[in-house]
Chains A and B, each alone.
Chain A
Amino acid sequence: MSQRLFHRCSPSIIWVKDADQTLVVDREMGQLWALHGAEAVIWDLLSVGYSSRKIIPMLSLVFSLSVEEAEYTFADVLRKWRDANIVQVSGEADDGEPDSQCSV
């Protein structure tokens, strides 16, 4: 049985969607990231509560990628955001844990 990691948006992160990019700011660290392309799409989908099971097919569709390529892209973006502390891993998820939560 594979391990499932629980990720959440860091509490100090705020963001705004602009015409050509999504701007993400860490209020505490004073850092800014401008998200474009797949990153911006993934952020959009996460912010409206999509799960990874739904995001990967959407990426595949939007960017004409194979499912494997979409999975790789998604994992790559998530790794980059973890390294930047935009998202935090807060442990393993319980079996009954929902796949995605959002309280916009």
Chain B
Amino acid sequence: MANLTVSAVCNQHCPYCFTGDHLNGSRADRSFLEISDFDARLDFLDRSGIDQVRLLGGEPTLHPQFPELIKRARARNKKIVVFTNGLMPEEALVCLEELPPTECNVLVNINEPAEANKETFERQRATIHRLGERALLGFNIYRTNFHPNFLLSLIAEARCRPAIRLGMAQPCLSGNNHYIHPKQYPFVGEKVASLARTAARDGVRLEFDCGFVRCMFSNEDLETIKGLGADVGWRCNPILDIDIEGRVIHCYPLSRLGSLPLTPQTDAPALRNAFESSTRPYRQAGVFQECSTCPFKTAGECSGGCLAATIRRFRHTPFSLVVPSQEVSS
């Protein structure tokens, strides 16, 4: 898996957006990926044995040559995955509508209607209707008083995929975005379990993005969620986000940890290994004090949560100390 950033521009300002640390530091004169660079990204996917093109932003559909990007990816028999807010130009929507649903997955991240103006929500709704079964609705939890049930009626009326991809907003290393603090996880866990029960009655299952942890659910809720067919996973791996300047990062929240250059020789397994190696020391810890000695983490059943949230627990204390030399050498 690797995500290709094709646009540094977005037409939404979601408070939880975790790309700020990286995209705000990009060159202002370059907002979109050049077509020739896109071809180089496709070469990277080919030599990495990846059959999906996952387009990310900003808002990727704002790329002025979005249909051309899709055409080039399809020419290489790639399946298309688009991460969008649903506020896309008509030509981008038409281009996605023309793709067979089996070859196209459009993850439409949508906020609660109460947070958007009516026109914005209606545009998103219209997009979802037109995408139909190509659309998978995504919802990002970034505060504890969230109300995602509106998604169920949207799924039913638009006949999109009977699933909701849940994300739990994680901090950028700068902490300059809204996110769920680990202390709030158990409360979120209860509400997610409740959503899973309601969704199951409508034949809708939940899928979990990275960053969820096992202990945010009670054993009973966890059994219920699994029993309802939810795709539960306690993951935190190098996603490999590739920006428009050809820098590869572990993932956007960890962009300040550093990047690796995309060269004509590098492939995804090598990059993933490099990021796993550089982040290994931090992975002993987790988002909670108890993670480093948790049996589920030790057994590899839980990652210990988002690495960005974990690293934000670390601090440098510039202590200094004067010690008589006989104390040092005794």
Contact = CB atoms under 8 A, between A and B. Distances in A.
B317 interface: yes
A20 B324 contact: no
Interface in B277-330: 277-278, 280-282, 284-285, 289-293, 313-330
A14 B315 contact: yes
Contacts of B292: 18-21, 23, 34
Size range of the chain B interface in the assembly? 20 to 34
B322 A97 contact: yes
Given A71-B327, A79-B328, A31 B319 contact: no
B319 A49 contact: yes
Contact of A18 (B277, B289, B315, B325): B289
A26 B291 CA distance: 20
Given A9-B319, A47-B317, A19 B281 contact: no
Contacts of B293: 18-21
Contacts, number: 119
Interface size class of A (residues with CB under 8 A): 35 or more
Contacts of A15: 314-317
Interface in B103-151: none
Nearest to B317: A47
Contacts of B318: 8-9, 11, 102-103
Contact of B320 (A14, A74, A78, A101): A101
B281 A7 contact: no
A67 B165 CA distance: 60
A55 to B, nearest CB: 9
A63 interface: no
A14 B314 contact: yes
Contact of A99 (B285, B289, B291, B322): B322
Nearest to A68: B330
A7 B315 contact: no
A49 B317 CA distance: 10
A32 B315 CA distance: 14
Contacts of A13: 316
Contacts of A9: 316-320
B323 A5 contact: yes
Question: Which 6 A-B pairs rank lowest in CB-CB distance, beginning with the nearest?
Answer: A32-B281, A8-B320, A3-B325, A14-B314, A93-B322, A47-B317
Interface of B: 277-278, 280-282, 284-285, 289-293, 313-330
Given A8-B319, A9-B316, A99-B322, 12 more contacts: A3-B324, A4-B325, A9-B317, A17-B289, A18-B293, A25-B314, A30-B278, A30-B280, A34-B284, A49-B319, A99-B321, A100-B320
12 contacts: A2-B326, A5-B322, A9-B318, A9-B319, A11-B316, A18-B285, A47-B317, A49-B319, A51-B322, A52-B321, A74-B327, A100-B321
